Structure 1
Amino acid sequence: MQEPGVIYERGLIGTYQDWCEPFSTYPRTYDLIHAAWLFSAISKRCSVEVVLMEMDRILRPEGAVIFCDSHAVLRTIQPLAKRLRWDARFEANRPGGSGRILVCVKKYWVEG
């Protein structure tokens, strides 16, 4: 698969990932993960919880995940994201689309 040109034009590196498989990230963490219709596509292959934990592992503190999916799927993700100590909020519907957008930001926190 080719990465979109807009990513390279901005000096960024994009990747495609099979979220049902572990993703080698050493020594990197990521600032942004964009997941468009991801959970609708993989719901029969792996669990939402496992994928969110993998995202949490590779996402840097104060990094963001943008989920675009059906409202039913996003309603499932939101409470799980909050359990991971992510700020999770719904944004406006996508123009002309049937899905919604959920923006999650991983909090920077320390124990104690």
Structure 2
Amino acid sequence: PRVPQEHKAKVTTLERSVAQAKTRYSVALRNLEQISEQIHARRLQRLILRRASPVGAESNPHPAVPEGEVTTAAAATATTGTRLGTECPPGDTLSVLSLQTIASDLQKFDS
């Protein structure tokens, strides 16, 4: 009689742990979706602004890059070993790093 009670208690504990993990996973997925939506909104905004910017002689062929963006791209290179700024606009680099961190955390929970 004692062994089934111990097994039942263990199963209950495991079920509770699984429920908590599912909740954390769900919250993390929602956060990822929000970050992704923010990135897409920023890219769309930049695309719209880029189309509205001057053309030809009025445009600046070499716009100045704000110091923070250079630092962000350099930080991405140091952190990941790849220059994320070349694949996406430098302002999105931190968002990409956030996504990578969350994905890494989710993989740890899955293992």
TM range (shorter): under 0.3
Whichever structure has more helix as a proportion of its residues is 2
Q: Which has the larger radius of gyration?
A: 2
Whichever structure has more strand as a proportion of its residues is 1
